[in-house]
Amino acid sequence: MAANIFANVTTRGVKAEFMEAMDGAPTVWDKHCQIIPSDAKDENHAWLGTLPIPRHKLSGRNFQSLRDFTLTITNRTYEMSYVIDRDTAEDDQTGFVARANQDAALAWSTFHDSLFSTLIEAGTSDNAFNGTSFFNDSHTIGDSAAFDNSLAVSMTADNPTLANMEDGVKDMIAAMALFQDDQGRVGYTSQAMTKLRLIVPATYLRRTTELIKSQLTNSGSSNPYYLNLLEVDMLPNLTAAADDIYLSAVGRSKRMPFIYQARTNLEIVVYNSTEHIADNDGLKVLTRQRFRFGYGDPRFCVLNTGD
């Protein structure tokens, strides 16, 4: 019987290569999502509202219940299966098998960003929160005033000026700062806004980087307002109009604009027996994971359509 050239390629080894490559892959989704473990087909995410407004105590106490907001997210199953060709492996002298598994891990990471892109772009149409779209010009939550997290601050598509970009981002920050909690109090997002991240398509990377890294000039004086306030994430998977940008407030780890619901860890199975190699004319690798992206708190993300 011919020697099995894949005998040393084990599930444990492939999984280690996978995880190492995935840990080193640059991703965007995990910077904007609250990661929530799941142990069922779907999960009901109940958000407790904010505490009542303090009041002047005249006589007795006024007990109020916290509002409860519920969002249901159903898990999905994803898989990626591939075969590493036996002939190629037999002739390989440069470590092809290891590189193939690393490339597969990078493809898995990229797939997560692709799903995240689809989620945020669908936020203008999905009835994701209280029967309305996630990005909406007239949200209300509890006793809050109507708030708009879908702005249209004019920017020149594909090649905005620095002034265009500054105006767009400035208005996004100002809008978010005035969002109210469910008791009607301004300042709900203040803690989350201690850390802000912009999501931009590739066409806007240059201008947003200039905006964030440069010392802006305002009336002849240095104005480092955006320095150390913002970070930029370029998401090449975005397919909508080139002038859509997103601002996330991610300074509160327990409440984020988006949710990553993890049902299972990544599962990797390697078929490396002599019989399997002969049947498949190569090494078969199967991967599988159950998870789902979903919408979180709409007050922590603002869309600017640039129109």
Task: Encode pLDDT of 211-220 as tens digits.
Answer: 877 644 444 4
301 touches 250 (CB < 8 A): no
Give CA–CA dist 233/176, Å, rounded: 19
Q: Is 131 exposed, middle or buried (0-12, 13-18, 19+ CB in 10 A)?
A: exposed
The pLDDT tens digits of the residues spanning 245-296 come to 999 999 987 789 999 999 999 898 888 788 888 788 888 888 899 999 999 8
Torsion of CA 127, 132, 136, 142, to 10 degrees: -140
Beta-bridge mates of residue 81: 286
pLDDT at residue 241, as a whole number = 59
List 33's β-bridge partners, or say none.
Answer: 258
* Correct CATH for 11-49+68-304 of 3.30.559, 3.40.190, 3.90.1690, 3.30.1050: 3.90.1690
CA–CA separation, 118 vs 36, rounded Å?
Answer: 20
Structure tokens at 248: 């996330």
Beta bridge partners of 260: 35, 293
pTM of the model as a whole? 0.84
Token pair listed for 215? 């010392």
Token pair belonging to 259: 């949710």
To the nearest whole percent, how much of the chain has pLDDT over 90?
26
Q: For helices 205-213 and 162-177, give the axis angle rounded to 10 degrees.
A: 70
In the chain, what percentage of residues exceed pLDDT 70? 79
* Residue position matching structure tokens 């002939």: 87
